Amino acid sequence: MKLAWPHTPASLIGLTLIAAFYGVTTFHLSRQAYQARAEDVVVIRFAHWNLEEGVREVYDEIAAAYMALHPHVHVEQLAIPHRVYPAWLRTQLIGGTAPDLIALGGQGITDELMARYFQPLTTDVEAPNPYNRGTPLEAVSWRDTFVDGLTSHHIFNERLQEVYSIGLGVPTFRGYYNLDLFREIMGHEQLPRTFRELLDLCERTAAWSRQQGRAVLPIAASVHHALPLLHALAAVRTQRLLIDQPGRGVLILGDEDLLIEMMAGRLSWRDPPMVDALAAMQAAGRWFPPGFLQTQREDMAFQFVQGRAVMMTTGSFDLRSLRSQAPFQLAVGPIPLPDTNDPEFSRGVLGPLPEIAVGSGRFALTRNSRHPSAALDFLRYLSSVNSNSRFAARSEWIPAVVGAQVPATVKAFQPNPDGFPAPLNLFAGLGPFPDVFRTMLNRHSDLLFSRTAPLEAYLEAVDRDFPPALRNDLERITRHRRANLRRLDTLIGILELDSPAWADRSTILRQSQLNQEIAQAWLEYNQ
Amino acid sequence: MEAVQQLRFNDAATLMAAEPTPSHRLAEAVLKLNHQPRTRAQVEAAQATLEYLANDAHTEPEVRPWALYYLARILHWHLDQTPREATLAAYQRLIDHHPAHPAAQLAQSRRLLLLLFAPATATEARARLKHHGKETPLLTERDARYAYHVVFAEAYQRFAPEDPELAEHTRRALAITPLAPAQRADLLLRLAESARRRGDEATARVTYLEFLRSYPRQIRRPLVQKRLAELSP
C-alpha cells in the first residue's frame, strides 16, 4: 500500500510548520528534563491552550508564588496554540512524554483515553485543601470548595465514575448586543428578558432589515455560538424528565440513560418533552444564518463587530476581545430562555438552568507524571481560594472556587447557582455520542431550522436515521467500558495482591467497577 | 507498584515473571490480561496459567480461589461473545469449591448480575428477583456485601421499583464504609425516592435532608428541595 501524501504548497507549508512546532516542543521538553536532572529539583510541567491576555501571566505569577514556598520544585508552563492542541495532546499522551498536568476540554478525549492516560482524583478530593488554611474553607473537603462540588459532567465522568480534573473557571454564556443597532430597530434599550421577547427581536430585526435594504442578522451564529444556545433551549424544556422519568431513581438522567430509555421504547423523539425541546430549538434556530453549522467562530465574531448582527451568544471568555474590537456600544444580558410563564414554550420547564458547571482551566493529572504528589500539590495551590481570586482578577474569568472574588468587570457573567439541572445534553457537542449528535443536528439541520418545513418533516428523517446512530454510539460506549472494566480487573487485582494497605483504595475502585458492570448489564438488557 | 499505578502492566508483568512462586504467577496472569498490545493470544495465555494454578495440587490455598475468580472474569469481560451460561458456571465453580473465600463472595454478586439482568419479560424479571432474594449466600466481606446489596437494589429499581426490598437493600449498602461520595449520594437519593413512592414520607424527608447536609454543592439540590417542598407538612 502506498500512502497518499498531500502535495499542494499550502499543505506542505502547513506540514512543515507542524513538524517545526513538534521539533521545538520536543527539544524544549528534553532540555527541561535534562536541566531538571542536572539541578536535582522536582520539575512540574503543566500545559494549556489559553493564550488570552492575562492568563499566561497569572499562571506564571501563581507558579512563582508556589516555587517561593517550595524551593525544591520548579513549575513550568507550556502554552500551546489552540489549533494544534488536540493533535499535540494525543501525541504527548501516546508517546509517554505528556506533562504532569494537562488542561482538558473538547479535544476528543474519549473515556478510553481518559482512563488509560489520566489519574483519577476521586479519593484525593475528599481531604481539605491545605492551601485554604486560614480561610473559611479550611476544614472543607477540596471537593466542596468548588461551586459545583465537582459533580458537573465536565468534571465527574459518569460512565467511569471518577473525578478526573480540577477546574479554575466557570464559563457562563450571555447574549452580547450591539446596543446602537438594537436601539435603532427596537426604539428602546431594554434587552430581551424572556424567550418571547427574543423571538420578537428576531422578527423585528428581519422586518427592519428588509425595509432598510440592509443585511443585518438578528443572531450571529456560528457552530461555536449556536450550540450553547441550542443546548440550553433543549435542556430547559426537558427538565421535568428528571422528576417524571424514574430511570435509575437518583434524580439523574444522563445521556446514556436517556438513550437507553429511547432504545427500549420508553421514550421517543415524538414524546412531548423531546418535541418541546426540538420546537424551542427550531423557533430560535430559524433566525440563524444559513449554513451556521459550517461557519467558524472567528468569521461570525467578525460579522458581529462589523455591525452586521444585533446579537451573539458567547461566553465570558470573549468579553475582552469583543469589548476592544466593537466600534459600537456593547451590552451584555442573560440569554432569554423559556420560563414557567411562557405562553407557548413553558411545558417541561422547571426553572432557570444552573450555571455552576466548572469547565474552564480544567487540569488533569497524567498517569506518566514523574512527580504525581508534587503535581497534585501544585494543583491544590492553584485551586485554593486565594490563588483562584488572583487568577480571576487577572484573567477576568469567573472563579470556580467558593468565596473567590468575581472581578467587577465580569459581574454580568456571575453565574446563577440555583437553577434546575436538565437531562438533554445531546446538543452540547460531539461528546461520547458523536453519531447521535451528527444525526440530530448536522445531518438534518436544514429540516430542523427551515422557515417553511414543519417539525414533522424533521421527525420523519430522525425516525429513519436515529436508530442506527444510537446503536453505533452505544456500541462505542460498550467497547470503551469493557476496556475499562478489564483494566480495573488488573489494577484492583494487583493492588490487593500487593498489600492489605491498599484495601480502602481497592474497595472504592471495586464500587466504581461494579457500577460500570451494572450500567453495561442494563444496556445489554435493553438491546 | 508504581508501574501498576501508571498502568504500565507490561513492565510489571516482566517483574513478576522473574519470580516462580504461584502468587507471582497469578499476578503475572492478571497483568497479562492487559498486556499491550492486547491480543486474544495474551488472554488465552493468562487463561492457561490461571487454569494450571486452579488445578495444581501445589498451588497455595490462598491463590487457587483467585485463579478461579479471574478465570470467570475472563469469560465475563475479557473475551467477547462468551455464552452467559459458561460465565455463570465459572462463577459457580468458585462458589461451590471455596464458598467462604473473599473471591467467592465477590463472585456471588457477579453471578446475580448475570441472572437478574438476563433477557426476560417484566413478569419474569420480577419473579426471579423474588426467587434469588430467598438465597442466603455467605457474605462476611464488606466489598462482597456492598456489591450484593447494590446489585439487588439496582435490579429492584429497574424491575420492581415499588417493592420495599429496594429500600432494604439500599439501606444495607449505605451502611457499608468506606463508600465513594458519588455512590453514597446516589444511594441516599434512591432510598429517599423509593420511600417517597411508597408514601413513607418520614423516611423520604430524613433522607433528602441527609443528602442536602452531606452535599452542599450538589447539582441535584434544587430537585431535592422541590421534592421536600412537595411532601406534606
Q: Name the average pLDDT for chain A.
A: 89
Question: For residue A470, how many other CB atoms are within 10 A of its CB?
Answer: 18
Of A485, A494, A506, the CB nearest to B77: A485
Cell numbers linked to A94: 501516546
Q: Is the pLDDT of residue A43 over 70?
A: yes
> By three-state DSSP, how is residue A20 classified?
helix
CA distances from A92 to A25, A120, A366 (A): 10, 19, 10
What does chain A come to in residues?
Answer: 527
| Greater pLDDT, A216 or A21 | A216
pLDDT of residue A124 exceeding 80: yes
Q: Does B111 touch chain A (CB under 8 A)?
A: no
DSSP class per residue in A203-261: HHHHHHHHHHT---EEEE--HHHHHHHHHHHHHHTTTTHHHHS-TTSSS---HHHHHHH
**Mean pLDDT lowest for which of A5-14, A190-199, A248-257, A408-417?**
A5-14
pLDDT, tens digit (0-9, with 9 covering 90-100), for B88-110: 999 999 999 999 999 999 999 99
Under 8 Å between Cβ of A178 and A195: no
Q: Are B158 and A246 in contact (CB under 8 A)?
A: no
pLDDT tens digits for range A67-78: 999 999 999 999
pLDDT band at A11 (very low <50, low <70, confident <90, very high): very low
Residue A18 has pLDDT above 80, yes or no: no
Per-residue 3-state assignment (H helix, E strand, C coil) for A52-112: CCCHHHHHHHHHHHHHHHCCCEEEEEEECCCCCHHHHHHHHHHHCCCCCEEEECCCCCCHH
The residue to which cell 449505605 is assigned = B174
Residue B3 has pLDDT above 70, yes or no: no
Residue A107 or residue A99, greater confidence: A99
Residue B2 pLDDT more than 70? no
Please indicate whether, in this complex, the C-beta atoms of B223 and A524 are within 8 angstroms of each other.
no
| pLDDT average, residue stretch A484-492 | 91
Residue B46's pLDDT is what?
Answer: 95
Q: Which residue type, as a one-letter code, is found at position A416?
A: N
Which chain B residue has the Cα nearest residue A148? B217
- Rounded to whole angstroms, the Cα distance separating A369 from A294 reads 38
Enter the ipTM: 0.95
**Cβ atoms of A243 and A422 closer than 8 Å:** no
> By the CB < 8 Å criterion, does B128 face chain A?
no
pLDDT above 70: residue A21: no
Phi, psi of B215 (to 5 degrees): -125, 75
Q: Determine, for residues B143 and A402 on separate chains, whether the beta-carbon distance falls below 8 Å.
A: no
- Determine whether the interchain pair A494/B223 forms a contact, defined as Cβ–Cβ distance below 8 Å: no
Of the two residues A416 and A312, the one the predictor is more confident about is A312
For the segment A423-471, what is each residue's pLDDT rounded down to a tens digit?
888 887 777 888 999 999 989 999 999 888 899 999 999 999 999 999 9
Q: Inform me whether the pLDDT recorded for B1 exceeds 50.
A: yes
Distance (Å) from the alpha carbon of B33 to chain A's nearest alpha carbon:
7
pLDDT at position A240: 96
Q: Which set of grid coordinates corresponds to residue A366?
A: 497524567
More confident residue, A122 or B86: B86
The CA distance from B158 to the nearest CA of chain A, in Å, is 7
Q: Which residue of B has its CA nearest to A149?
A: B217
Q: From the list B30, B146, B194, which residue is nearest A511 (CB)?
A: B146
If you average pLDDT over residues A93-106, what whole number do you get? 91
Chain-chain contact of A510 with B143 (C-beta, under 8 angstroms):
yes
- Exposure b/e, B10-36, CB count within 10 A at least 16 = b: eebbeebeeeeebbbbbbbbbbbbbbe
- Supply the DSSP symbol for A165: E
Of all residues in chain A, the one with the smallest CA distance to B180 is A508
Residue A275 has pLDDT above 70, yes or no: yes
Residue in B4, B9, B161 nearest the CB of A249 = B161
Q: What gap in Å lies between CA A52 and CA B8, rounded to an integer? A: 37
User: Which of 133-162 (B) contact A at CB < 8 A?
Assistant: 142-143, 146-147, 150-151, 154, 157-158, 161
Measuring CA to CA, which residue among B189, B55, B219 is closest to residue A153? B219
CA-based nearest distance B89→chain A, Å? 18
Q: What's the confidence (pLDDT) of residue A106? A: 67
Mean pLDDT for all residues in chain B: 92
Confidence of residue B7 (pLDDT cuts 50, 70, 90): low
Per-residue pLDDT of A503-515, as tens digits, reads: 777 888 899 999 9
Vertex A20: Cα angle to A16 and A24 (nearest 5): 175
Least confident window among A96-110, A188-202, A374-388, A458-472: A96-110
pLDDT at A4: 33
In this predicted structure, the answer to whether residue A20 has a pLDDT above a threshold of 90 is: no
Distance to chain B for A60, nearest Cα, Å? 29
* Binding-face residues of B in 64-93 toward A, CB within 8 A: 66, 70, 73, 77-78
pLDDT of residue A7: 42
- Predicted confidence (pLDDT) at residue B19 exceeds the cutoff of 80: no
Q: Which of A213-217, A230-234, A269-273, B32-36 has the lowest mean pLDDT?
A: B32-36
Cell of A165: 480534573
Q: What is the mean pLDDT of residues A147-170?
A: 87
Interface of B with A in 45-64 (CB under 8 A): none
Question: Are A489 and B110 a contacting pair at CB < 8 A?
Answer: no
What pLDDT, in 10s, does the model give residues A48-72?
998 888 899 999 999 999 999 999 9
Instruction: Indicate the DSSP class of residue A141.
Output: B
Most A CBs within 10 Å: which of B188, B220, B228, B230, as the mutation test of the A interface?
B220
pLDDT of residue A259: 93
**Nearest partner of A331 among A310, A303, A301, A352, judged by Cα:** A310
Whether A5 has a pLDDT exceeding 50, the answer reads no
pLDDT in the model for residue B225: 96
